[in-house]
Amino acid sequence: MTSSPRLSGLPQVEPLDQTLRSELQHVIDTKTKPPGSLGRLETLARQMGLIQRTTHPTVERPALIVFAGDHGIAAEGVSPYPQAVTAQMVANFLAGGAAVNALSRVAGIELEVVNAGIATPLPRTDGLVDIPVGAGTRNFAHEPAMTHEQALTAMQAGAARVRHHAALGSNVIGFGEMGIANTSAAACLMSRMCGVAIDECVGRGTGLDDAGLAKKRSVLAAALARHDASTAPLDVLATFGGFEIAMMAGAYLAAAQARMTILVDGFIASSALLIADAIAPDVREYCVFAHASNEAGHRRMLDYFGAQPLLSLDMRLGEGTGAALAVPLLRAACAFINEMASFESAGVANREA
């Protein structure tokens, strides 16, 4: 992890222990199948075994945390939806009516909804983790979205939510988000952290038409130029990020510290990982990239991480939906390594050396 004193309160991430790699590979290769014939499931089983330090990896109490927050940049008209939709969708999550609710139920996932910083006041509701850093960020078209102290507070809050689930026995976790205009924040994070022109990062988000897309690109290009001195990870996060993105960034670090398998969702969740990865590059060894989003820029971000996503379903909803869909694949990887017979135990002749 970077030695900056401003980051000293964040979780420390150790490189993935490779001690069991050869033993895991031997277990995988001696199952009753041709070598490599289960493809990415074999890679998953090996990665999960290394993370959990065992040749018998498991999926225990998989959890998905959806962080919600509002963005001041919405005032520039970069989204076709009003900011009030953030709070309305959070209410939908809590009522169990959103896509992520349905997909979490079918995958057997513990779902948590966190108010990281929504602008609209929310009623007290059972099931909501209400820990806002503020009532939405400021408008980064004119000033930094948040202070460094707010960014760190949000990161530490996200880390604390992960530790909560780790204490309850979760060893697999994913992160989702909700926040009108958060694709604008993510595009700026990507442009600055990856060194990519903003036009290659900006997409239609929740459905901008051509005129809206052109305006979004113009607004974000001007914002990047205004804040051209922001280049260090925490500076970039504070300048362009959202409270929900900052909480996700801290959550990634805590999940890796707790040796959890991390399911990375789409464009916005990956933008938060850019910050975590810049702070502690070993974090990506604990990450499974769930899917390739249909949002412009996400595949370029995946290339930046050197990632091979498990799924490509033309999804761009966010909420953690892609991460939820990947959980059954993790269960399948664990099932084959734990339940398939070996050539020796099944009495099946292996290929000749």
Q: Would you name the residues annotated as active-site residues?
A: 319
Structural contact between residues 243 and 133, judged by C-beta atoms closer than 8 angstroms: yes
Q: Where do we find the tokens 């408008």? A: 139
Question: Which amino acid, residue 39?
Answer: G
| Consecutive H or E run containing 350 | none
Paired tokens of 185: 């924040």
SS3 (DSSP) at 343: helix
100-125 in b/e burial notation, b at 16+ Cβ within 10 A?
A: bbebbeebebebbbbbbbbbbebeee
What sign results for the dihedral spanned by CA atoms 104, 106, 107, 109?
positive
Structural contact between residues 180 and 82, judged by C-beta atoms closer than 8 angstroms: yes
What is the signed CA dihedral for 305, 307, 311, 314, rounded to 10 degrees?
40
CA–CA distance, 351 with 106 (Å, rounded to integer): 39
Within the chain, strands assigned E span 63-69, 110-117, 128-130, 172-178, 261-264, 287-289
